[in-house]
């Protein structure tokens, strides 16, 4: 079997494999193998290996520089970790000496703990979570 056929079959295989594992890791290899297959009838077997290596470096470099950074999505924290730093509204007064107040965030009521006292309607920031309770502090008003 000729070299270009082997390279073309491998290139198509990498591209097909990418369809089933959408990581964009196999696609650059498939592109490099197909580009080398197109040039391999003009090259010696030793030169073909060098050209394949150059294509692999070039295509992965392009993907690394331009494609992969655009694919990264900002991950929005959810659950308890997504609450930290959010501003909530006090729905039941919080006294600094007893954990007996409530705040509302995202339409849910949470029992709140604080060393400070807050009146109903005040805005507080969630500092951290402790189990199913939130620890709050004074929100900075701008």
For residue 7, pLDDT beyond 60: yes
Quote the mean pLDDT of the chain.
Answer: 89
pLDDT at 46: 93
- In angstroms, the CA 89 to CA 95 distance is 15
> Of 61, 125, 137, 127, which is closest to residue 96 (Cα–Cα)?
137
Q: Would you kindly state where each structural domain of the chain is located, as residue ranges?
A: 3-71, 79-138
With vertex at residue 47, the alpha carbon angle to CA 42 and CA 49, rounded to the nearest 5 degrees, is 115
pLDDT tier at 71, thresholds 50, 70, 90: confident
pLDDT computed for residue 57 by the predictor: 97
Using pLDDT thresholds of 50, 70 and 90, give the confidence band for residue 78. Answer: low
Question: Residue 98 pLDDT more than 70?
Answer: no
Q: Which of 82, 76, 101 is nearest to 137 (CA)?
A: 101
Rounded to whole angstroms, the Cα distance separating 120 from 88 reads 11
pTM of the model: 0.54
Looking at residue 95, its pLDDT comes to 83
Angle between helices 45-62 and 26-39 (to 10 degrees): 140
Instruction: State residue 30's pLDDT score.
Output: 96
Taking the C-alpha atoms of residue 52 and residue 18, their distance in angstroms, rounded to an integer, is 19
Please say if the pLDDT value at position 1 is more than 80. yes
Mean pLDDT throughout 9-36?
A: 93
Q: What is the domain class of 79-138 according to CATH?
A: mainly beta
Length of the chain counted residue by residue: 142
pLDDT of residue 116 exceeding 90: no
31 and 11 in contact (C-beta within 8 Å)?
Answer: yes
- The residue among 49, 20, 28 whose CA lies nearest residue 37 is 49
**How many whole angstroms separate alpha carbon 96 and alpha carbon 44?**
81
CB 43 within 8 A of CB 20: no
């Amino acid at each position: 079997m000729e070299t270009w056929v082997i390279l073309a079959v491998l290139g198509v295989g990498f591209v097909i494999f990418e369809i089933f594992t959408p990581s964009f890791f196999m696609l650059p290899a498939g592109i490099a193998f197909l580009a080398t297959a197109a040039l391999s009838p003009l090259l010696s077997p030793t030169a073909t290996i060098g050209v394949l290596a150059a294509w692999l470096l070039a295509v992965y470099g392009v993907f690394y520089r331009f494609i992969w950074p655009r694919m990264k999505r900002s991950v929005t924290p959810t659950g308890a970790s997504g609450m930290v730093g959010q501003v909530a509204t006090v729905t039941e007064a919080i006294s600094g000496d007893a954990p007996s107040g409530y705040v509302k965030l995202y339409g849910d009521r949470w029992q709140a703990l604080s060393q400070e006292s807050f009146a109903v309607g005040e805005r507080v920031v969630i500092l951290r979570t402790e189990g199913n309770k939130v620890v709050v502090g004074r929100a900075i008003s701008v």
